[in-house]
Amino acid sequence: MRHLISVWIANRPGELARVAGMFSARGFNIESLTVAETRDRSVSCLTVVADGDNRRISQLAQQLGRLVRVFRVASLTERPRLERELALIRLRPDPGFSAKDLQEILSSVKAQVIDSGPEGFAIEASGTSQELSSLFSQLSGVGSIEIARSGTVALEWNRTGEWK
């Protein structure tokens, strides 16, 4: 099962390696890892996507929570959340493919052309992993594409307005 875990750690050299090492040492493959400072520059938030059974991931989350300089660990897997990835795409369309055809494809997702030239288009897209994979599939059918893709970022979110 796909799991989404947020880990708040000290923003210090080596902390990211310690957390990633715990996943590796326990045989988990990290599918996606995103890390950045929070509003408090001394704290970073990691968003980790890994595949594994519920029991083993739960044990790992508990072990992460016991590390020095880990402030909070939260599994967002079964919580209400907002989840997004960012992709930059270079599309070199096949002859006969028009900008209008591209706009039709892009209108189905949160994507836009951010630059164009004689060789093709630069596209920015955001969405869930599944939405981006679907977009990549559609675009690969109209020409050659090159993709730079971020990891998943997520935020616990419930519509009642309650903050956790």
Is 16 part of a structural domain of the chain? Answer: yes
Q: Angle between the 99-106 and 129-140 helix axes, to the nearest 10 degrees?
A: 160
Which pLDDT score, from 0 to 100, does residue 109 have?
A: 84
Same domain for 67 and 115: no
Is 162 part of a structural domain of the chain? Answer: no
Structure token pair of residue 49? 């996507």
Same domain for 148 and 102: yes
CATH of the domain at 28: 3.30.70.260
CATH of the domain at 109: 3.30.70.1150
In tens, the pLDDT along 9-39 reads 999 999 999 999 999 999 999 999 999 999 9
Sign of the C-alpha dihedral, residues 31, 51, 67, 43?
Answer: positive
Helix (H) or strand (E) holding 134: helix 129-140
Same domain for 103 and 130: yes
The stretch 61-67 carries a mean pLDDT of 92
In tens, the pLDDT along 125-149 reads 999 999 999 999 999 989 999 999 9
- Half-sphere exposure of residue 143: CA atoms within 13 angstroms, side-chain side: 20
User: DSSP characters for 48-113?
Assistant: EEEE--HHHHHHHHHHHHTSTTEEEEEE-TTS-EEEEEEEEEEEEEPTT--HHHHHHHHTTTEEEE
Is 159 part of a structural domain of the chain? Answer: no
State pTM to two decimals. Answer: 0.83
The parent domain of residue 140 ranges over 82-154
Q: How many domains does the chain have?
A: 2
